[in-house]
Amino acid sequence: MKIKSSSELVQNALKEIKTISADEALKLSNEKKCNLIDIRDIRELQNDGKIENAQHIPRGMLEFWLDPQSVYFKEGKLDINKEMVLFCAGGLRSALAAKSLQEMGFDKVSHIDGGFGAIKQSKFNIV
């Protein structure tokens, strides 16, 4: 049995998902064309800050909160007709999460290259 490494999983995901820059994400957010989703752990938000208009959905709950069949579904939390723009600290977890949302059937999904590290270097408003 060969077990794939986490880096293999991320590399495979990056081939299948849309990756955008922090500046592209800011433009989509300012134009109200996306759901900006922060999938970092709550401790990361507390320690490093967060983006003003981002929705926090912990990585471990993402699929459950977005699945209407799940008891954890968050009705009305997101506009499912808009692009789902995911980010984590560095872009690895968000790549895997974006692939998972695509597998669920979401067709407008992307993740931010470089994650929160890149976001801090952009013009996003961090609170």
Say what the pTM is.
0.94
CA angle 94, 97, 101 (to 5 degrees): 135
- Using CB atoms within 10 A of its CB, is residue 91 exposed (0-12), middle (13-18) or buried (19+)? buried
User: Under CATH, to which class is 16-120 assigned?
Assistant: alpha beta
Residue-wise pLDDT for 64-93, tens only, equals 999 999 999 988 889 989 999 999 999 999
In this model, does residue 119 exceed pLDDT 90? yes
Residue-wise pLDDT for 16-29, tens only, equals 999 999 999 999 99
CA angle 68, 73, 77 (to 5 degrees): 105
Residue-wise pLDDT for 29-41, tens only, equals 999 999 999 999 9
CA angle 29, 49, 41 (to 5 degrees): 90
Write down the domain spans for the chain: 16-120
3-state secondary structure 36-71: EEECCCHHHHHHHCCECCCEECCHHHHHHHCCCCCC
